[in-house]
Structure 1
Amino acid sequence: MNFLQRAISSVTRRKGKSIILFLVIFVLGNVIAGAIAIQQSTSNVEKDVKAKLGANATVEFDYDTFQKDHKDEDEATLVYPDNPKLDVYEKVGKLSYVKYFDYNTYSYFNSRKLKSFDYQSEENGDEGSTRITGNRGLEYFNLKGINYPKILDIEQKKISLVEGTVFSDKDVKDGASVAVVGKRFAEKNNLSLGDQLLITATNEDQLGFDSEGNEVEVKPEDIKSVDYPVKIIGFFEPVKSEKEPKKNSDEYYNQMNSSTELENTIYLPNKTVSEYSKKQNELMFSGDDTMEGDMGEYYSPAYILKNPGDTEAFKEEAEPLLPKYYVVRASSDQYDEIGGSMKKMGQISKYVVIISVIATLLIIGLVVLLFMRDRKHELGIYLSLGETRGKVMGQVLIELLIISALALVLSLVTGNLLGNMVSKSLMNSDLLQTTNDNMMYYSSVYDSVSSNLTADDVTGAYKVTFSVAYIFTYLLVGLGTVLLSALIPLMYILRLNPKKIMM
């Protein structure tokens, strides 16, 4: 009988010890399998959510760090650094990770003649109503300048072009007086493609109140304005979210307000918006010594990366190009702020895997060693009959692998179920509840890395399932741990002296 046959015979002959070893490995295997299942699931959630968020990035002023570095200085005399120049944004945009990029300047205008579109009013059937107006009934409209002719919001499926065309390279370069507007806004104001839209720069919004905020009479001769006619070349509509929020929920109204802001946004070339903004500032702040002179221009850059996985590498290369206190913010950062519960659960499962592997090494090693001591005479006979130590060690190893393989395969299923139950309990516990309660909603026409991600979206994406990665990782860790635990018993066999045993 060779050593392989002896190993199989030994497992079936010593049923009691085989069952004890099977149960020990099965219990420990369940702990390892459950922890690995949780760790794999949390990792998959992070990958999936970040992929859905997209590979968007922008550059922002790190206000918190600046305040921390200047906490001892007087706020009134604090000098903030200048905004990065356009050539800095363009250098960042030329990095190999960037698919395409844009930088935007923003402004607004108000009007008594134009009507804004409001989803909530339309839903309530009040066709004559518009959204809440500003000072003395003025309607407010957003102006968004672009440098990327195809309009980044269209490329990112934030809006869709339903009629007309986008800008040409020449339109953007020359700062042409052309615009792409919301379809519903146009219908509200009876505007068609090719019509002239009158954008008015005026100081009226600044009038009507004194320095203390008290309302005063506005004289018609005090109102100054300059008209900027622009030609409408295209109509767009906001793209609906794949996940429709529950009606009358906070998320529902947030999404409705966001769509309303988009509908009342007018896309223009950057130069066109800049020219308008300068005239608007002149009219609004003329005579104000504190606001005289060039107020400068502010641009908000937006970078679309080729791959979501390039985000960290992009940050490392981009941030050295930026002025001090300016940093790169990515859309995937929203997961880091919202997905705290997943990160905590992933860390807990990682620690459980490490502790259970160490425990498995010690427990299985000691159990097998005790069994080997009981079989000392059997092993001594094999050696005295001329069997090599290598084959005796191979027999013990095969016995251990047969029992552990059965236990690990069975615990592969039960451990997955255990991981599912434990993770659900953790998410419902106070340990993780504080993060889940802090639901955040990102959506704004001014936010180039915006999304409607919430904490509920993150927890809702969490699922413990069987996967090739889970099975492979668990069997690799489980069998590797069992083989390492066999080192102690195998060392015992090497020390056996058949002459002393047989005496």
Structure 2
Amino acid sequence: MLKRATLYLRRKYRRTILLLILLFVISFSLAIGLTVWNSIGAVTCGIRQELGTSFVMRVPSHVIYGTDSNYTEVVDENGQTKRQYTGFTLDEATVEQIMQQVEGLDTYNAEKSEYVHADDFSLLYGKFANAWENWNETGGDPAERIGWKILSEEAMLYGNTDSALYDKFRTGAFELVAGRHIAPEDRKKVLISEQLAEQNQLGLGDTITLSARAGMAGLPDTYALWGEAQEMEIVGIFHINGDQPAGALVSENDQTYNWLICDLETACYFQYVADLYWYTDRMIAPQYDNVTFFVDDPAQLDTVMDELETLDGLNILDYEVAVDDTMYRTTVDPLLSIRNLVAVVVAAVAAGCFVVLCIIFTMWVRSRRREVAIYLSLGFRKGKIIGQFVLEAAAVALAALILTAAVCGPVAGRIGNGLLSSAVEAAQPEEQQFSEDELWQAALAGETLYHYDSGTYAGPEQIDFTFGLVEVLILAALELLIITAAICKGGSFIFSMQPRQIMTTLS
């Protein structure tokens, strides 16, 4: 069989060359598709493990501050009767219970935010500083002016267990450009923005002092210190991506450039101090604003959520729980769109190849009807005749596959990364520009117009599209399957006709 196949290919070399060209085009098309498909699949699996999926838990604010049934009267250490919060909590003990009893959780990030006073550094200019500077001394209340002054020195402090897991960093809204992130074991550490560092000539290792002041709550003794001031070491500086309105129409504590990101313990301390001095009739247990739990495998998220509902001593319905797979989805979706496009193209190519090869091999086999009739007359098995034709085509396909392997890698890389660039660009949010009138109207309405580049693509900008052994074996098997099916269909008459019929009825 091998000798006859080789002899035929050599004698009909023109037909062999045409078949080689056709099979090369088919092999090349399928190889590009397989390479892009498998490479993106590998990257997607890596992203799934890196970004994962998370869910966020929080206690509704009305439960803590607006529900009397969650308070019990107690006598404090000074003999005063106060109301003690005894409702359900979201604290370290709750978090540890969830992490220990729910399988499939990888890690978590607890968050706590508080207002703080900038003792020894200045915030970027905002509407409170503008109000203080332009206060009318002849007609205004001096106490009001000093109130504007302290509010111009008030910033937002965001405590995190691990700032690398803070959603602004995970989504790319914030980007660490110097130093390191806040770690769970850190105490009195802080990250500041590039703009704040530049304005105050601050760098890594420098310290800033934060405190809580009575005037921040609108109380008369404006600069009275609540608790103790905290000296914070700057361990990192971050860059902010996106459109960030600032200036005289935006409050200082609303300007992202003035935000401070610190360790969780420091933020909780300022919450404790604020509650202690502000609430004279009640005592509030320490609470995290929210906790983000990260799941090992996004596919197991539903299982994890079901298990969470069955925990002893924890009624998940008491909490606000929201699934957060935005980052995973916005990163994977562009990749999946490429895979889906490639799948459609490969399916179309495979279907087209099958049709073309059926036509080619039908003409090929039928042009050899005399040869087939002679083989049958000599007693050759029909399967052996088909096998010879398959062997001939397979030999040409092997040569086409070798040529494909030599050129596929670089071409697949260009095509795949070109598709990736287009998909990533399409996934980026549109830039927003705000006019002064829009800022003014937003300021009057108490709204902010921030636009972060968050929830955007966070995967690789370039992918190594490799045509490896796995792709070669898959392609070889796929081509052999297509060739065999096409030849069997084109040579179906061999199984249904006798030699005399083949010679007399086929034109």
Amino acid paired to 2:324:
R
2:397 corresponds to: 404
Superposed CA RMSD: 5.0
Distance 1:265 1:472 in 2: 53
Indicate how the Cα distance of structure 1 residues 152 and 298 shifts in structure 2: closer, same or farther if over 3 A, else same.
Answer: closer
Deviation at 1:205, TM superposition (A): 3.0
Distance 2:43 2:461 in 1: 9
* Count, aligned residues: 401
1:299 corresponds to: 289
Indicate how the Cα distance of structure 1 residues 55 and 343 shifts in structure 2: closer, same or farther if over 3 A, else same.
Answer: closer
Q: Tell me the SS of whatever aligns to 1:482.
A: helix
Deviation at 1:490, TM superposition (A): 4.9
Q: Return the match for 1:46 from 41, 44, 47.
A: 44
TM-score (norm. length: structure 2)? 0.62
Deviation at 1:352, TM superposition (A): 0.4
1:336 corresponds to: 329
Contact 1:143–1:267 (CA under 8 A) maintained in structure 2 = no
Contact 1:369–1:492 (CA under 8 A) maintained in structure 2 = no
Amino acid paired to 1:166:
E
Contact 2:327–2:456 (CA under 8 A) maintained in structure 1 = no
Q: Map 1:39-438 onto structure 2 (within 5 A).
A: 39-51=37-49, 53-55=50-52, 57-59=54-56, 92-94=98-100, 95-111=102-118, 113-115=119-121, 135-137=148-150, 138-143=152-157, 151-153=161-163, 160=180, 166=185, 179-182=187-190, 199-202=211-214, 204-207=215-218, 221=220, 223=222, 225=224, 227-229=226-228, 235=233, 237-238=235-236, 261-262=259-260, 265-268=262-265, 272-279=269-276, 282=279, 297=287, 299-305=289-295, 307=296, 310-318=297-305, 321=309, 322-323=316-317, 326-330=321-325, 333-338=326-331, 340-423=333-416, 426=419, 433-436=425-428, 438=430
Determine which structure has greater relative contact order: mean sequence separation of CA pairs < 8 Å that are 6+ residues apart, divided by chain length.
1
Indicate how the Cα distance of structure 1 residues 114 and 279 shifts in structure 2: closer, same or farther if over 3 A, else same.
Answer: farther
1:495 corresponds to: 496
Identical-pair percentage: 14
Q: Tell me the SS of whatever aligns to 1:32.
A: helix
Deviation at 1:261, TM superposition (A): 4.0
Distance 1:404 1:83 in 2: 69
Deviation at 1:374, TM superposition (A): 1.2
Contact 2:182–2:262 (CA under 8 A) maintained in structure 1 = no
Distance 2:460 2:301 in 1: 28
Contact 1:57–1:329 (CA under 8 A) maintained in structure 2 = yes
Contact 1:105–1:300 (CA under 8 A) maintained in structure 2 = yes
Indicate how the Cα distance of structure 1 residues 419 and 379 shifts in structure 2: closer, same or farther if over 3 A, else same.
Answer: same
Deviation at 1:6, TM superposition (A): 1.1
Contact 1:181–1:266 (CA under 8 A) maintained in structure 2 = yes
Q: Tell me the SS of whatever aligns to 1:105.
A: strand
Indicate how the Cα distance of structure 1 residues 335 and 54 shifts in structure 2: closer, same or farther if over 3 A, else same.
Answer: closer
Unaligned runs of 5+ residues in structure 1 are: 62-81, 119-133, 168-178, 208-219, 287-291, 441-449
Unaligned runs of 5+ residues in structure 2 are: 59-86, 125-146, 170-175, 246-254, 310-315, 433-451
Deviation at 1:473, TM superposition (A): 3.8
Deviation at 1:420, TM superposition (A): 4.2
Deviation at 1:13, TM superposition (A): 1.7
Indicate how the Cα distance of structure 1 residues 136 and 58 shifts in structure 2: closer, same or farther if over 3 A, else same.
Answer: farther
Amino acid paired to 2:153:
E
Contact 1:25–1:404 (CA under 8 A) maintained in structure 2 = yes
Distance 1:22 1:196 in 2: 73
TM-score (norm. length: structure 1)? 0.62
Indicate how the Cα distance of structure 1 residues 116 and 478 shifts in structure 2: closer, same or farther if over 3 A, else same.
Answer: farther
